[in-house]
Structure 1
Amino acid sequence: MVIINLSGDIMEAIASAPGKTILFGEHSVVYKQPAIATAVNKRATISIKRSTNGVSTLRSDDLQFEAELDTENKSYNLIRGKPGIIRYILEALFSTHDHSPIDIKLSLNIPIGSGLGSSAAVTVATLAALHKFHGIKFNKHLIAKKAHIVERNVQGIASPLDTLVCTNGGMIYLSRDKMVSRFNLNFKSSFVIGYTSKRGNTGKMVRSVRALKNRNPRILGSIIKTMGQIVDEAKLAIISGNNQKIAELMNINQGLLDSIGVNTTELSRMVYSARRHGALGSKITGSGGGGSIIAFCPGKSNEVHDALNKYDNAIKIALSNEGVNLKYR
């Protein structure tokens, strides 16, 4: 959405982007293996307008957060709340903004630390709003590329998968040569995300797996290659609508993720609790070391959600075909 005054100047630019979840391929995607991820029906919305007092500000009522920004030096003065997501917004501003004073408002219905790509969604939405605010042509390819650079600069290392999905929406297959293809289907099966209060650190977990691989190159190389083969099998199962096969591959994938050291007691508890309460398949989603699991539970989403919510946190999700846009408020 874009609000324009009578002189033709943009008064407010509003953009939103979906969260995402990785179905198959976390960690192995770092080593040129394929991955499958999908956008979900939880979104981040960013609005940008000129500041009236000469100071750039960022506010989010959802996160109970407010800060004054120095966009040129990528610094901030925290007024209330926890900094968290601000580093991604500052990095996006540094890459695209002219450092004139602006007011930014963030609305977020993606739980932080839930494995649903809140940072990628916020980054993509911020860049899209900035492009419109500054009259830059709306180009999804460019936004996804910039967003990946932002995430890499903040985290130290990042796969392009999250920002690709948050930009384009839908379910995508990222090939070994980094070509993106979109699944041409309407996949409506039920998923539940379970997440703990202990958040994973993507950069730390990627470095940990790399160190393990360096110490055991042949063994880890075989495991990573097998993960890639699971993705290829999952692609065929999704296209054919074979729910049993999808679930079986998720459970196999979980065992391999455990073997490379990214599982935790809390994640394992949720994985097996989900299966006990009706999930056909369940596995870590994202980097692990804390964070989240995804449970595939056709017809059992309520039971799985309630079971996970007893000791941790859970949210039911639906897959979404809608990517970043400038019309959502």
Structure 2
Amino acid sequence: MESIASAPGKMILFGEHAVVYGEPAIAGAVNKRVTIKITKSSTNSSIFKSDDLGFEAELNTRNKRYISNRGKPGIIKYILEILFRFHDHSPIVIDLSLDIPIGSGLGSSAAVTVSTLAALFNYHGKKFNKNYLAKKAHEIESSVQGIASPLDTSVSTFGGLIYLSREKKIFKFTNKLQSSFVIGYTLKRGNTGKMVKSVRSLKNRYSKIVDPIITSIGEITDEAKFAIAHNNQSKFGELMNINQGLLDSLGVNTKELSRMVYIARKAGAHGSKITGSGGGGSIIAFCPTNEEKVFRSISKYDNALKVRFSNEGVIVQNRKIL
């Protein structure tokens, strides 16, 4: 038995951190994916491996433990939590391949979680739909991170460009954002759980100051929703820059991220900001024009990718999911 599933990474355009406290957010699936293949193990051990990341680990699925044979499988906590909850503990091999940098703020953990759940459910012949998959994927991320928004897992499950409301309802934009983006990312990985806890601690210490910042990020997201609906690229870029300033005030920026933000703007990006939790990871640059110049400028110092939005969400080989 072989079960294969894939899920896209994502860009958060607006609403990072604020979404954890009930504010809206906008995010979109990108044309970079994670693929999980599950097969029956030829030994008595379950194995999690990835040639792309250079690691292999032997899993104890009953106790959520592992022994590393090579490399450092940083994403393994999500795999162990999934197998502990949903697997029958029979020996399997999980093979991960991806073209999303781990810890870059492009939703690698959500894409791994969604694709692993889909592949595992399919492996066991379990009936499921996308709503159920998104719900369970969010539960896994919340368990591993301590606190998590349903945004990342929703995007990886459903694909497209979405607005997550204050009531946690998902609205898919009918019009596409007709522009390319450049992603700049550093070798310093962000830690979503750590950064979420850091902002929460800051909020607890200075609630009268931080609460209005969180609210303002939500207001920016609502303005951006209007800008997207009316294809107002100038307004969209301005709002990205304002959002970046507020994220900086929450302490999630770094010297490397800030450098890329300003390099992108100087090279002609209409807007640029952190995407994801910060503390490392990535920035996004909105490039209706000057895409190549922005890409080359960021690449002089850091890593860069050109990405576009994708309407495709999770895909399971030889199976249609509604």
Q: CA deviation at 1:218?
A: 2.0
Query: Corresponding residue for 1:71?
Result: 61
Q: CA deviation at 1:302?
A: 1.5
Give the 5 Å matches for 1:77-226: 77-226=67-216
Query: Residue 224 of structure 2 is aligned with which of 214, 229, 234?
Result: 234
Q: Distance in 2 between matches of 1:207 and 1:49?
A: 36
Q: TM-score, normalised by structure 2?
A: 0.96
| 1:23 maps onto 2:23 in alignment | no
Do 1:18 and 1:121's aligned partners in 2 also have CA atoms closer than 8 Å? Answer: yes
Query: Residue 313 of structure 1 is aligned with which of 296, 299, 303?
Result: 303
Dislocated runs of 4+, deviation >6 Å: none
Do 1:128 and 1:143's aligned partners in 2 also have CA atoms closer than 8 Å? Answer: yes
Q: TM-score, normalised by structure 1?
A: 0.94
Query: Corresponding residue for 1:60?
Result: 50
AA in 1 matched with 2:282: S
Q: CA deviation at 1:171?
A: 0.7
Q: Secondary structure at the match of 1:152?
A: helix
Q: Distance in 2 between matches of 1:71 and 1:215?
A: 39
Q: Secondary structure at the match of 1:311?
A: coil
Structure 2: state its 5+ residue gaps.
none
Give the 5 Å matches for 1:247-262: 247-262=237-252
AA in 2 matched with 1:121: A
> Which moved further from structure 2: 311-320 or 47-56?
47-56
Q: Secondary structure at the match of 1:45?
A: strand
Q: CA deviation at 1:299?
A: 2.5
Q: Distance in 1 between matches of 2:86 and 2:80?
A: 10
The alignment's C-alpha RMSD in Å is: 1.4
Q: CA deviation at 1:187?
A: 2.2
Deviations 1:30-57 (A, max 9, x none): 1110000000001111111111222211
Q: Distance in 1 between matches of 2:191 and 2:39?
A: 33
Q: CA deviation at 1:100?
A: 0.5
Q: CA deviation at 1:92?
A: 1.1
Fraction of identical pairs, as percent: 68
Residue correspondences, number: 319
Q: CA deviation at 1:275?
A: 0.4
